[in-house]
Amino acid sequence: MQLEGKSILVTGGTGSFGKQFVRTVLERHQPRKVIIFSRDELKQHEMLTGGFDDIRLRYFIGDVRDVERLRRAMDGVDVVVHAAALKQVPACEYNPMEAIMTNIMGGKNVIDAALDAKVGRVIALSTDKAVNPVNLYGATKLAAEKLFVQSNAYAGANGTRFSCVRYGNVIGSRGSVIPLFLKQREEGYVTVTDRRMTRFWITLEQGVDFVIRCIETMRGGEVFIPKIPSMQMMDLVEVIAPGVEVRDIGIRPGEKLHEALISEDEARQAVELETMYVVQPAHAWWTTDVIAEGKPLPADFRYTSDSNTDWLTPDRLRDFIHGLGVTL
């Protein structure tokens, strides 16, 4: 499915991903309409007055917890990108019911509304924290992944198809470590939870481009994972705050030393393509011709941030950060 001439709804449309997705789609894909669905009227106002005033945009105030509002918003929609979530690990740990209501029940509501509206394609954003989760945020995203994959069975002949995209930390997004380090270095120090830590990294633009590519190729039931580099936390410190005092504060509740994008168990259902991996659902109803050229993964394969073969050196990290318009 090409996005030209389509009506697209983005939940969480005022977030970092949502704004970049909207910008990219308007500039490159000529949609008929883009609906920005979010619950914060101030962020919508700031987005509108901050340059997002295209005639093709619609600002829809609503919460993914409200299925009736979602049904109204999805009337006539062709594609849904589900990016709304509570994603701050400490906040989800402290407010578990809220995380479940938004990330799991909100996902269910998106699915129900999309089925009722006969939306063509729905793609949900997930995270590396959904693999072998150790915190509630990861657990809610794992549950949401299962909901979206299995909902293809509910769609039946309806034609609505559901898939997921799973990737790692987004460089420079709201709440990420770069803004934190930049602020801390002004005070003469940076805080590190564990010096051995590694993370997957992807730019906002790469994440958006990957999601669009997956919308165009999905058949329903897949979890798409891009091939992205890893980085060492101390390399990031060296790039952003060289010579600054490093304070060790200890690993936080629900935090891992290393993240995973594909577990060994999932690898049995996954295939490798040139720029991505695709985890296929283990259900008899699932068929596809998209991944016919995919290469099966070795039995002991796992895709983790510490075993990755692609690493961001300090020089590559510096280029990435300069690309964000940040002066080091």
Q: Tell me which residues are annotated as active site.
A: 129
**Cβ neighbour number for residue 112 with a 10 Å cutoff:** 15
- 314, 238 Cβ separation under 8 angstroms: yes
Classify residue 302 by its DSSP letter. -
User: Directed axis angle between helix 16-28 and helix 204-217, to 10°?
Assistant: 60
CA distance 126 to 123: 10
DSSP assignment string, 305-319: TTT-S-B--HHHHHH
CA distance 69 to 62: 6
- 38, 44 Cβ separation under 8 angstroms: yes
- 255, 193 Cβ separation under 8 angstroms: yes
Residue type, 276: M
**CA distances, 204 to each of 24, 106, 237, 315 (Å):** 11, 24, 21, 19
φ/ψ of residue 169, rounded to 5: -65, 140
- Which sign, positive or negative, has the C-alpha torsion 255, 260, 225, 319? positive
CA distance 24 to 114: 23
Residue type, 115: L
